[in-house]
Amino acid sequence: MRSTLWQKLFSWLDERLGLNDAYKNLLDRPEPKGNWWNTLGSASLFLFILQAVTGIFLTVYYTPSPDHAYDSIQYIMTEVQFGWLVRGIHHWSASLMVIVVFIHMLRVFFTASYKYPRELTWLIGIGLLLLTVGMGFTGYLLPWHQMAYWATTVGTQIAGSVPFAGEFILKSLRGGPDLSALTLQRFFAAHIWILPALLVALIGVHLYLIIRHGESHFPDKED
């Protein structure tokens, strides 16, 4: 019989993976009465996954070199099947992610959810906010068009105004005194490897802490 086969398979997997325990601990949790503002965190996570998926598709055609970056994106936009859709989503989703993550931070601030026992969740959340902005900053250069080039020139200049360490920071961001192929290459590396790796690690801890302490309730006069 069909059902017993599935049951057998399930119980075999359950013995080894602990599916029932996972269901109990991860999904079947009690939560305080939530409202729509509570969805901002999961919306940020959804946007991150969307960015990861569309970003991976984009790397199939994108070339991080000053000679080809612009043309490869033109190619994605005009020649690749649904390339315009993938790039369009990646582009708009980047801006939306900054907004959603920021409003998520404001929600946590205004409901004072950062207080005991969730201090560490807040700390990591700030890290995630800064990394999201960093993703925006590094990703903006990659199309290698006029807006991107000059925005990054000015952006790195500002980072270079730090007293004493400024010149070192400027040179390490640009890979030299001026924006060049090296800058594009290292912004690309930061955008697709370094920052996403940090993001994934911090998201993991953030989620663990949320499950550990549960979602905070909306404060009332007693709190």
Partner 1 sequence: MTDETKKKINAKYERELLHGERFWPDSLFKDAIVALGIFIFLVLLATFVGVHDSPKADPSDTSYVPRPEWYFLFLFKFLALYGQIPVFGKIEWVATVLIPGIAIGLLTLLPFIDKSPQRYYAKRAMPIAIMTIMVLGMVLLTMTADVPTVAADGSGLLGNLQTVAGLIVPSLAYIAFVGMAYTLKENAVRAIAWTTALAAALMIGFTAATLALYQPAAVAVIEIPTTLADQIVAGQDLYSVHCVECHGDDGKVEEITGVEGLEGKKISIISSKDVLYTVNDASMAEIIAYGRPDSGMNPFGKAYNPEGLTRSEIDYVVTFMRYTWDDRFEAPYIAPLYPPLAEGEVPSYSVHIEPIVKRYCISCHRPGKDNNNYLMTSYEELLTTGDNASHNLISNDPTSYLLQVIQQIPITDPASGEELIGVMPPNKALKPEIVEVFVRWVQAGMPK
222 is an interface residue for partner 1 by CB under 8 A: yes
In whole angstroms, what is the distance from residue 88 CA to residue 143 CA? 13
1 is an interface residue for partner 1 by CB under 8 A: no
Q: Which residue, among 170, 186, 166, 188, has the nearest Cα to 178 in the 3D structure? A: 170
Site for partner 1 in 144-183 (CB under 8 A): 144-151, 153-155, 158, 161-163, 166, 178-179
Shortest distance (Å) from residue 47 CB to partner 1: 7
Q: Which is nearer to partner 1, 147 or 197 (CB)?
A: 147
Question: Sign of the C-alpha dihedral, residues 65, 66, 72, 77?
Answer: positive
In whole angstroms, what is the distance from residue 213 CA to residue 223 CA? 17
Site for partner 1 in 123-142 (CB under 8 A): 123, 126, 130, 133, 136-137, 140
Contact 162, 169 (CB under 8 A): yes
In whole angstroms, what is the distance from residue 12 CA to residue 103 CA? 44
Stretch 26-45: interaction string toward partner 1, x if CB under 8 A:
xxxxxxxxx-x-xx--xx--
Kindly determine how many residues on this chain lie close enough to bind partner 1 according to the rule CB under 8 A.
85
Contact 204, 27 (CB under 8 A): no
Q: Which residue, among 124, 134, 107, 101, has the nearest Cα to 204 in the 3D structure? A: 124
Site for partner 1 in 67-126 (CB under 8 A): 67, 70-71, 74, 77-78, 84-85, 87-89, 91-93, 95-96, 98-100, 106, 109-119, 122-123, 126
61 is an interface residue for partner 1 by CB under 8 A: no
Q: Which is nearer to partner 1, 12 or 42 (CB)?
A: 42
